[in-house]
Structure 1
Amino acid sequence: MATFKLNISDKKGKTITKEVKEKEAGPFLGLTVGAELDAALVGEAGKLKITGGSDKSGVPLREDIHGGARKYILLSKGVGLRDAEKGQRIRKLVRGNTITEEVYQLNCFFDGELKVEEKPAEVQEKESAEKKA
């Protein structure tokens, strides 16, 4: 079965990472980039919107390619291409917008405000002492 690493961010810029495995990952299979689903799947109240992701070898999901297969496409800008000069086009490998078992990471947007768990003061002091040493 599938295992996904979810990067969930909110409108204030906070991001948390959750890993979903086996039965918890089932509802994500078959969805597309841009789909909205209930955030109760990851223990929050609200809606999650899938904004992107990548597969196990780092190939990005692209919203305008249908299906879940990997394809080489000619890009001039957008997801999967870092820098291209004006008029330049580059053939790059991207994956379609459908979430399959080969997908490893999913980027999601949460419509509410995330509760970020803070570390206890003892752990923070220990970490800062290790950085100084």
Structure 2
Amino acid sequence: MANFKLTISDIKGKSMSKELKDNDANPLLGLQLGNETDATIVGLNGKLKLTGGSDKSGVPMRNDIHGAARKYVLLSKGVGLQSTETGQRVRKLMRGNTVSEEIYQVNCKFDGELPVEASAEDATESTEEKSKDKKE
């Protein structure tokens, strides 16, 4: 019963969000950050590389913590830590690098370009043109 919100970015910098529920989300369970998976689970042709994520309470995943557990880690820089002074270290709660059922959001990188979808403005223009044609 895993539910994931997938944020997919492409090589051009565009991103999109997809919601995966139940059986569609099962291929992601057990994968670690940095692993690649097939993009057909979201309806794309190519590969998805897992780059990060967070759990249901907003705790970020970190690549150098093994497993799926939440741990307090002493950090001086990197993922999950805002700017610090030189030499300052902070103990923060982090999530491991393995995707489990507690994960809510998974960030991915797509190896190609995301398909271009028609914007909302184009859709309204086309409906206005159709209504004008019907009136004439």
Please, what TM-score do these two structures have when normalized by structure 1? Answer: 0.90
- Number of aligned residues: 125
Alignment map for 1:23-62 (pairs within 5 Å)? 23-62=23-62
Tell me the residue number matched to 2:64.
64
Once the two structures are aligned, what percentage of the paired residues are identical?
65
Shift of 1:84: 1.0
Larger Rg computed on CA atoms: 2
Shift of 1:120: 4.0
Tell me the residue number matched to 2:79.
79
- Matched AA of 1:69: A
Q: Which runs of 5+ in 1 are unaligned?
A: 126-133
Q: 1: CA distance between counterparts of 2:6 and 2:35? A: 14
- Matched AA of 2:53: G
Q: 2: CA distance between counterparts of 1:66 and 1:124? A: 49
Q: 1: CA distance between counterparts of 2:86 and 2:106? A: 31
Residue deviations 1:81-106, cap 9 Å, x none?
A: 01111100000000000000000000
> Would you say the 8 A contact 1:16–1:116 is kept in 2?
no
- Matched AA of 2:87: G
Please, what TM-score do these two structures have when normalized by structure 2? Answer: 0.88
Alignment map for 1:1-133 (pairs within 5 Å)? 1-121=1-121
Q: Which runs of 5+ in 2 are unaligned?
A: 126-136
Q: 2: CA distance between counterparts of 1:30 and 1:91? A: 26
Which range moves more in the overlay, 110-119 or 28-37?
110-119
Residue deviations 1:49-85, cap 9 Å, x none?
A: 0000000000000000000000000000000101111
